[in-house]
Structure 1
Amino acid sequence: MRRLLLLFTVLSLISCGGNPRSGVDEDQFSGYWYQGKAEINVFDLEQYRYGERREGTAVMIFVTEDFSKRNQVKLDNPQDAGADARKVLKLNMTRDFVTGVYPYHTMLSVFTPVYDEENAFKITASMTEWCGQSFTQMNWKNGSYRAQLFSYFESEGDQEIKLEGPSEDEIFNTIRLNPSIVPEGDIRLIPSLIFQRFSHIPLKVERASISKRSISGNQEELTVEYKTINRKLVVRYQQFFPFEILSWEELQTKPDGQIERTIATRRSMEKLDYWNKNKLQDEELRRALGL
């Protein structure tokens, strides 16, 4: 009965949407992702900032949610939302490191539809440090992103712009759905929102090249390379479902030719209903994850 109900739900979502997404094995996907738990991945982070390497921690939390396509928020009562309800794979990604006396904390959230052949419905990014904070939100509506940028810098203050193209930040989610979905070759791409805040470049669509290659140990690497902004992203992941992210690195070539290399290497992974683990006694779970 449960499998029939799930199948009916999936068919309803597909029939109410636009183009159905190909490449997602429903039996595999539902068996792993629809068990009421999130996947928590903890990474050792080497973050370049202000020309020096900083040690820190990055966390990637992947979880599925019921999402309102119209309002682009998590649904409180998905059973009442009808055709507006969509299943999304959500990534919450944090980075924590220290520069000298003061700390940095970044957070990226990406909401990718599981069954709709569309770009991520919503992407947000925030950065906080002792100088101030910034926040960016992009909403996918009518074939383009409506982006809003807020910053404590005068030159980067409140902005609202339109962007037509997919986002680099969604690549992590798309790999988790199925790496074959990620297009290869030349593509127009919105660079990482966290990178955009670090580099203080204008937020706009750039030309990029995407490639994949198999490496040893049943692993693959996906590389995104921009020519115009001298940026490269390399993501290493398992070749087989559920396509776990094992590491990622960012390379930025500065005007003087110096290459700044940020690396995140996975230390631990756990599936956990973390939203139910909010007691003092649950802090032991953080220690088990290495946090």
Structure 2
Amino acid sequence: MGKFSIKTQICFVSVMLSAFLYSCNQSGHIETTATPSISENTTEVKTETTKQKTVLSSEFKKYWYAGEAEISSYKLEQARYGEIREGTAVLIFVTEDFLPLKQVKADNKNAKNVPVLKLNATKNFNTGIYPYSIMQSVFYPISNNQHALKVSNSIQEWCGHVYDQLNNREQFEITSHSYFEGEADEKFNLGKTVLENELWAQLRIDPKSLPVGEIQVIPSLEFTRLKHVPIKAFQAMASIDKNTYSMHYPELNRTLSITYNPEFPFDILSWEESFKSGFGEQANLLTTKATKLKTIKSPYWKKNHNKNEKLRTVLLLD
């Protein structure tokens, strides 16, 4: 390089270095979700997206992008305080765009939006004179290659109301509010692992992708709240037998089984949840059961007039 000036040599080295770095970046490229511009996500979340994403079929797009939600009603037999209570449960699945930084549903189209399959799961039953109302909400990426972006749970009954929220950022960020002294306002983080809440939406996208074997799972926020169990990961054994997905938690003496249609759209037909219910020596191993009554597709957010109440009769809720 003695023939060239110092300035020319510096320019040549700079060009070569830039080419080398660009080449390294290209060779290390891994396809992420449909919205790779989500720069506000943390390193942990980006790592999750290195899993292979689910390729959406034409029937999936036709079913889930028709501008309607899928609403399914269930006959509920809920274990509470050592007895079985009759009630109803509803699963509402709908696709929408989610903003991972603000952790909310997106109002407008945006390159940073993440398409999700949202599940709002509700339960209503009475314990003697007073009613219970439970709702869990899950925002699960349709790419099916990372954990739910957000999970929340609220329970209302005459003694008071409680609320839990999990946000998927660098870690799982937990916020919890309760009227119980020992469970008052709390904020803490957890390492990322399987969320029981997310499995219901994951099943609807691809049942074969559900985790099996010995795994670490954070139980549903409904269960941890009703049983006053710490929100943390527990060891579980998961398996699929024909069209039933089951998980058993040895430490919690709890088993959850979800039975689904083996054919698309993989709708949930029923579920059972066995655990000890009651207090002290009066506690017994009881099984909560939910059996499907009816499914409809509807843009329910537009069905808010008195004349639309007949749809509740169609769902066998009234």
Structure-2 separation of matches of 1:178 and 1:14: 20
8 Å Cα contact 1:43-1:59 kept in structure 2: yes
- Asked if residue 290 in structure 1 is aligned to residue 316 in structure 2, the reply is yes
Shift of 1:209: 0.9
- Answering whether residue 191 of structure 2 is matched by residue 170 of structure 1, we say no
The whole-number CA distance in structure 2 between the counterparts of 1:85 and 1:20 is 19
Q: Is 1:198 paired with 2:226?
A: yes
Contact 1:19-1:116 at 8 Å conserved across structures: no
Decide whether the 8 Å contact of 2:173 with 2:188 is kept in 1: yes
How far has the Cα of 1:12 moved from its partner? 7.8
- Alignment partner, residue 77 of structure 1: 108
Note the 1:25-36 alignment, pairs <5 A: 25-36=56-67
Separation in structure 2 between the aligned mates of residue 242 and residue 25 of structure 1, nearest angstrom: 12
Q: CA deviation at 1:24?
A: 3.9
The percent of aligned pairs where both chains have the same amino acid is 41
Which residue identity does 2:177 align to in structure 1?
F
Q: Please, which of 162, 169, 176 is the counterpart of residue 149 of structure 1?
A: 176
Q: Give the structure 2 partner of residue 250 of structure 1.
A: 273
Q: Which residue of 1 aligns with 2:143?
A: 115
Q: Which has the higher Rg, Structure 1 or Structure 2?
A: 2
Comparing 20-29 with 49-58, greater Cα deviation is found at: 20-29
Matched, 1:65 2:84: no
Paired with 2:130 and 2:209, the residues of 1 have a C-alpha distance of 40
TM-score (norm 1): 0.90
> Partner of 1:86 in structure 2?
114
Contact 1:208–1:227 (Cα < 8 Å) also in 2? yes
Alignment of 1:1-291 (within 5 A): 13-16=34-37, 18-19=49-50, 21-78=52-109, 81-82=110-111, 84-115=112-143, 117-142=145-170, 144-164=171-191, 165-214=193-242, 220-253=243-276, 258-291=284-317
3-state secondary structure, aligned to 1:133: strand
Distance in 2, Cα, partners of 1:249 & 1:169: 15
User: Partners of 2:145 and 2:79 in 1: how far apart?
Assistant: 35
Q: How far did residue 129 of structure 1 move?
A: 0.2
State how far apart, in whole Å, the 2-side matches of 1:209 and 1:145 are.
22
Deviation at 1:23, TM superposition (A): 3.5
1:162 Cα shift? 1.3
Q: State the Cα distance separating 1:203 from its structure 2 match.
A: 1.2
Q: Secondary structure at the match of 2:312?
A: helix
Classify 1:56/1:12 alpha carbon distance in 2 versus 1 (closer, same or farther; 3 Å).
Answer: closer
Q: Give the aligned residue type for 1:115.
A: S
Instruction: Tell me, in whole angstroms, the C-alpha distance in 2 between the residues paired with 1:139 and 1:33.
Output: 25
Task: Give the length in aligned residue pairs.
Answer: 272
User: Counterpart of 2:307 in structure 1: which amino acid?
Assistant: Q
Work out the CA distance in 1 between the residues paired with 2:296 and 2:72: 7
How far the C-alpha of 1:26 sits from its partner, in A, is 3.1
TM value normalised by structure 2: 0.82
- Distance in 2 (CA, whole Å) between partners of 1:16 and 1:31 is 26
Counterpart CA distance in 1 for 2:102 and 2:50 is 20
The runs of 5 or more residues in structure 2 that have no matched partner are: 1-31, 39-48
2:54–2:143 CA contact under 8 A, matched in 1: no
Q: Amino acid of the residue matched to residue 158 of structure 1? A: D
Q: Which amino acid aligns with 1:167?
A: L
The residue type equivalent to 1:199 in the other structure is K
Q: In structure 1, how many angstroms separate the alpha carbons of the residues matched to 2:195 and 2:71?
A: 23
Cα distance between partner residues in 2 of 1:41 and 1:14:
30
Counterpart Cα distance in 1 of 2:266 and 2:52: 17
* Aligned residue type for 1:76: D
Q: Render the CA deviation track for 1:76-115: whole Å, top value 9, x for unaligned.
A: 112xx22x11100000000000001000000000000012
Q: Give 1:240 deviation, angstroms.
A: 1.2
- CA 1:86–1:228 in 2, change beyond 3 Å: closer, same or farther? same
- 8 A Cα contact 2:82 2:284, kept in partner: no
Q: Secondary structure at the match of 1:282?
A: helix
Q: Within 2, Cα distance between the matches of 1:129 and 1:253?
A: 21
